[in-house]
Amino acid sequence: MPLGLLKYGLARRYPASRHFPIRPPLKDGYDVVIIGGGGHGLAAAWHLAHDHGVTDVAVLDKGYLGGGNTARNTAIIRSNYLTPEGVAFYARSMDLWRDLSARLRINILYSQRGHLTLAHTDAAVRTMRWRAEVNKHLDVDSQLIWPDEIARLAPTMSLSRSVRYPVLAALYHPPGAIARHDAVAWGYARAAARKGVELHPQTEVTGLLTSPDGSRITGVETTRGTVRAHRVLQAVAGYSGQVAGMAGLKLPIRSIPLQACVSQPLKPFLDPIIVSGSLHIYISQSARGEFVMGGASDPYPLYSTRSTLDFKEGLFAHMLELFPALSEVPIMRQWAGITDMTPDFSPVMGPTPLEGYYIDAGWGTWGFKATPVCGETMAHTVATGRPHPLIESFALSRFARFDQVGEKGAASVGQ
Ligand SMILES: Cc1cc2nc3c(=O)[nH]c(=O)nc-3n(C[C@H](O)[C@H](O)[C@H](O)COP(=O)(O)OP(=O)(O)OC[C@H]3O[C@@H](n4cnc5c(N)ncnc54)[C@H](O)[C@@H]3O)c2cc1C
């Protein structure tokens, strides 16, 4: 062991600095309360303080910071969506991801790998072509490629024609990346705390307080007492319907478990991220060498994060067709998160009919990549009271206007 490390470990005079400050007492009131200390809530807190100088902010979480879906996702980052609204929004997120380590002063292990969405049918090839054209129009690097080019990018993947669903083509998105999800939450939390934001884990919001006529938010009830607030932002992913219900809001969101798993670590042999919407599978190799794998959502709404054998059997039936070499590789861990699914696979963001109450929800299986842009756009919206231009089409009111932003062709299984 290096002498310096030993000295650091044993000496009382050199205690490791805390990542976050110790939880302070909860004040009677704040300018802004953020419900949910996942990536989105923490990013919004940091942008409020950094971009708008709003620092009288408390982030409340019923568990530990970053312990929800932020800790459970498979960390795929991309912007090759289908709708112009979606592509512009996620492209801005990619811009923010690229220098996030430097801005937050923490290494989030951002690793650009390239992202391949496989097409196994003529219909899927048409959708990939459509996505590639929308992407190019908005300056997002995407192209349709054929098996010879796929073989060059992913030589360890089987492109056999003698399987039930042979690979016909792929949408190739070179900027596709992965990052260390915990570091993202910790980075935003630490940077926000440095600006004066208070972080309150183990503080569940149990009710919302409104003015006597019910038109505006005035505070929140928590397991640690009542807190007044001028403005409240909810960013609670799988619990969106429950928390919005406290504000009398009915969301078009269902909470559905999504499972994933990782293998034992192996030497690097898969560079790009591979996704197949038709086979309901995706896979990438982490910096530690583990294969990170996932598939379709569970087939029913549920508030439970149990792991099932059904998921594993379904996943590997197809995974081994593409990667027969994995047949002897042990699975180390399996887990689930509760995802907040919207009917059009786009988020619900912005002000709500309750004055001063803002929502960041509907992140389903695709919200990790949006963490930076959610922070930026929700902070703008809360600070100015007006929706940021990038999120205007994601307003809750779109469902009443039948003006959905249909992203199913690009969000489903593709993460
Ligand atoms: C298995 C899996 C794989 C995924 N893979 C990807 C992927 O590859 N790429 C991608 O872009 N997205 C992916 N996602 C989706 C992504 O993880 C989420 O959309 C994103 O993390 C949501 O972040 P968040 O901050 O909104 O929510 P969360 O991280 O879930 O944070 C919400 C927080 O709210 C807290 N909370 C809830 N209720 C209350 C309350 N009443 N009071 C106080 N606190 C409360 C919770 O404790 C939690 O910490 C995946 C999700 C899962 C489950």
Q: Does the beta carbon of 176 sit less than 6 angstroms from any atom of ligand 1?
A: no
CA distance 69 to 286: 18
- Looking from the CA of residue 178, the nearest atom of ligand 1 is 8
Tell me what pLDDT residue 415 has. 57
Give whole-number Cα distances, 175 to 136, 172, 178, 196, in Å: 13, 9, 10, 34
Neighbours of 208 (CB within 10 A): 24
How high is the mean pLDDT of the chain? 95
Q: Check pocket membership of 243 for ligand 1, CB cut-off 6 A.
A: yes
User: Is 115 touching ligand 1 by the criterion CB < 6 Å?
Assistant: no
**21 pLDDT higher than 90:** no
Task: Report the phi/psi class of residue 8: left, alpha or beta, with left for phi > 0 and alpha for psi in -120 to 50.
Answer: alpha
pLDDT class of 216 with cuts at 50, 70, 90: very high
Its sign, for the CA torsion 240, 408, 366, 33, is negative
Does the CB atom of residue 235 touch ligand 1 within 6 A? yes
Of 411 and 87, the structure prediction assigns the larger pLDDT to 87
Burial of 353 (0-12, 13-18, 19+ CB in 10 A): exposed
| 65 within ligand 1 shell (Cβ under 6 A) | no
For 299, residues 6+ apart whose C-beta sits below 8 A from its C-beta are none
Q: Whose Cα sits closest to atom 49 in ligand 1? A: 68
Q: With the CA atoms of 42, 43, 46 and 49 taken in that order, what torsion angle do they form, in degrees rounded to the nearest 10?
A: -110
- Other Cβ atoms less than 10 A from the Cβ of 244: the count is 23
Q: Which atom of ligand 1 is nearest to the CA of 40?
A: 25
Average pLDDT over residues 59-73: 97
| Residue 204 near ligand 1, beta carbon < 6 Å | yes
Q: Which atom from ligand 1 is nearest to the alpha carbon of 260?
A: 1
Amino acid found at 187: G
Count other C-beta atoms under 10 Å from residue 149's C-beta.
15
Cβ 37 vs Cβ 199: under 8 Å: yes
Q: Which atom of ligand 1 has the smallest separation from the CA of 75?
A: 8
List the domains of the chain with CATH numbers.
Answer: 21-75+182-253+344-411 (3.50.50.60), 116-173+255-341 (3.30.9.10)
Cα gap 115→176, rounded to integer Å: 5
How far, in Å, from the CA of 235 to the mean position of ligand 1? 9
Spacing, Cα 324 to ligand 1 middle (Å): 32
238 Cα to the center of ligand 1, angstroms: 7
Question: From the CB of 61, is ligand 1 less than 6 Å away?
Answer: yes
Helix (H) and strand (E) counts in the chain: 12, 19
Asked if 246 and 379 count as a contact pair (C-beta separation under 8 A), the reply is no
Give mean pLDDT, residues 88-106. 97
Is it the case that residue 37 has pLDDT exceeding 60? yes
Prediction pTM value: 0.96
Q: Is the dihedral of CA 307, 310, 315, 321 positive or negative?
A: positive
Whether ligand 1 lies within 6 angstroms of the CB of 74 is answered as yes
1 pLDDT tier (thresholds 50, 70, 90): low
Atom of ligand 1 nearest to the CA of 205: 42
Distance, in Å, from the CA atom of 322 to the CA atom of 279, rounded to the nearest integer, reads 10
Half-sphere exposure of 404 (CA within 13 A, CB side): 12
> To test ligand 1's pocket by mutation, which of 76, 182, 236 has the most ligand atoms within 8 angstroms of CB?
236
pLDDT of 15 higher than 70 = no
How does residue 414 score in pLDDT terms, banded at 50, 70 and 90? low
Q: For residue 394, with 0-12 CB atoms within 10 Å meaning exposed, 13-18 middle and 19 or more buried, which class applies?
A: buried
Q: What share of the chain is helix, strand, coil (3-state, %, to 5)?
A: 35, 25, 40
The answer to whether residues 187 and 46 touch, using CB atoms and an 8 Å cutoff, is no
